Chains A and B, each alone.
Chain A
Amino acid sequence: MTEAASASVLRFSAIQQSFASPTGDAPNVVISDVGFEVKRGKFVSVIGPSGCGKSTLIQMAAGLLKPSVGMVFHHDREVTSVNRTIGFVPQQAQLLPWKTMIENIEFPLLLRGMALSERRAKAMEAIKRVDLAGFESHYPYQLSGGMQKRASIARMLVYKPDTILMDEPFGALDAQTRMVMQHDLQTMLATEGASVLFVTHDITEAVLLSDSVVVLSRRPARVIAEIPIDLPRPRDMFEPYGTPGFAEAYDRVWSVFRSELNIRRAA
């Protein structure tokens, strides 16, 4: 591996996060000690039991939340304010309802002051990449959940960020649509070369998409394992167990993850 390829794009350094308790007692510690990094061009998933602060890490990387203790570095610069150089795909598609699909996708370019003709052309390009051509002038309410999700991914691709944050992007989709989206995401990223931080609670999804899976403990969260996934690409999202080595990789993640769920059940 060359020097450039192993460079850290996104790094969480000794993160702690606590939120004021609503009852006024001692603050709620959500994250007790999390540190890991996303290397250039790598796809890293973070999984953990619900409520363990996975989405909080995304918020920190986006510069929307300052960690109570510790630092987040993006390209070796500490993230101290809203991070406008990353791509962000939220849990819900969050298209602006008053904009048509193409207007939503060109929105980041509009914010950057790009001329209409230029941003239309770039938006069309992104629309073709997510396979939504023909629906440009539909309003979000006229699109299915899967199509809204595609549009939200196109809105992120349109300004070609080199780092992408995805916060359980496929959680709300039905099982079939989700598999198609996972497949398409893999295809898109293969040509994009972007680094991805992907939050999910779905082990299959994490193993299939990732180069490495970070497993968080239950709250207060700490990193309990970082498991490299060395399966060959492209991987088959529709028949995961057909991919050689998938079952072993899944078991490695599950054996760590299961311990967290057991503790929780006993408590």
Chain B
Amino acid sequence: MSDQMTLTSLRSPSPKQICAPVCRAFLLAAPGVTLLCFWQFASGRLIRETYVSKPTEIAWRLIDLFYTGEIWPSLRVTGEELVLSYVIGVLLGLLLGYALGRSPRAASIFEPYVMAFYGIPKIALAPLFVIWFGIGIWSKVMLAGTMVFFLVFYNVFAGVRSVDRDVVNLALVLGANERQLGRQIYLPAAAPFLLLGMRMAIPYTVIGVIVGEFTSSTAGLGLFINYASSTYDPAGVFAGIFILLAFVMGMNALANRLERKLLKWQPTSQRIASEPN
């Protein structure tokens, strides 16, 4: 065979590469650690502690919240809202994005409407959502779910529409019917877009749920943070925020794993949102 090639992806790791994860973890942690140290130092010296609390105080508060079990009911409610809104938003976004992407005629009618609704600041609707869906979890699920829906919808829609006509024609000549076109061509081609939308939607789920809880609620982390901030308890506020942070990071890690599994066919340099780890 004359056309041979080198496969950089199949190289065995060199000593330099083995050390690399350690160095990278160190570099990754450095800015965060620096920030926490500065915070700890500045609190009470440069800024009044009642304004910003301090990391050690927040850590003790977190331990206390989990040890006494005080935080669990809030966590359970917010967790439910987050998972429900995310799952519902992603599923509906995928379904409608795919349907409109596959049907140019329906898209030409509905796209302007979807665009108009997309432009509405959902947060401004939060009070109405409470009236429509009650003070329980559903007003939060609907608010956050709407935000997730639009992000996933637009990405999937764009992904399905980006499929090259030549590829579809080729699949037709090779014997594909309509159902097979969807399963074999359109869905896999839209997968990178879907994953990008799902990743972008993670912080928006949190924003939606917390804003919903701030607006009106009987339980949840948002209520906990709101209560802490209105009682001049910055350690409580930051403890709640750190829990949300941990949630977002955990979801991101999950998204990375899903991406690596589903998009292993893409060269890493081409991935829309590639992560170094």
CB within 8 Å of B: which residues of A?
A: 62-64, 82-84, 86, 88, 90, 92, 94, 96-100, 107-108, 110-112, 131, 138-147, 155, 159, 176-177, 180
Contacts and interface: CB of A to CB of B under 8 A. Distances in A.
A82 B170 contact: no
B167 interface: yes
Contacts of A63: 173
**List of 3 A-B pairs having minimum Cβ-Cβ separation, nearest first:** A146-B3, A111-B175, A144-B5
B265 A64 contact: no
Contacts of A138: 7
Give the most central of B9, B175, B176, B267: most A CB within 10 Å.
B175
Contacts of B171: 111
Given A96-B185, A144-B3, A176-B2, A107 B166 contact: no
Given A82-B173, A86-B173, A90-B166, A96 B5 contact: no
Given A62-B169, A63-B173, 20 more contacts: A82-B173, A83-B173, A84-B174, A84-B175, A86-B173, A90-B170, A94-B166, A99-B265, A108-B174, A111-B176, A111-B180, A111-B184, A131-B1, A138-B7, A139-B265, A144-B4, A144-B5, A155-B174, A159-B175, A180-B3
B173 A64 contact: yes
Contact of B266 (A94, A99, A141): A141
Report whether over half of chain A's contact residues are helix, strand or loop; otherwise say mixed: loop
B55 interface: no
A92 B169 CA distance: 13
A100 to B, nearest CB: 8
A147 B4 CA distance: 8
Contacts of A88: 170, 173-174
A107 B265 CA distance: 16
A63 B176 CA distance: 14
A128 to B, nearest CB: 12
Give the most central of A98, A138, A139, A147: most B CB within 10 Å.
A98
Contacts of B173: 62-64, 82-84, 86, 88
B9 A142 contact: yes
A88 B7 CA distance: 29
B191 interface: yes
Contacts of A108: 174-175
Contacts of A141: 265-267, 270
Interface in B171-191: 171-177, 180, 184-185, 188-189, 191
Interface in B1-36: 1-5, 7, 9
Given A94-B167, A141-B266, A177 B2 contact: yes
Contacts of B170: 88, 90, 94
B176 to A, nearest CB: 5
Nearest to A179: B2
A140 B166 CA distance: 17
Contact of A98 (B166, B172, B174, B188): B188
A102 to B, nearest CB: 13
B175 A143 contact: no
A176 B177 CA distance: 38
Given A131-B1, A142-B9, A176-B2, A96 B174 contact: no
Contacts of A84: 172-175
A186 to B, nearest CB: 16
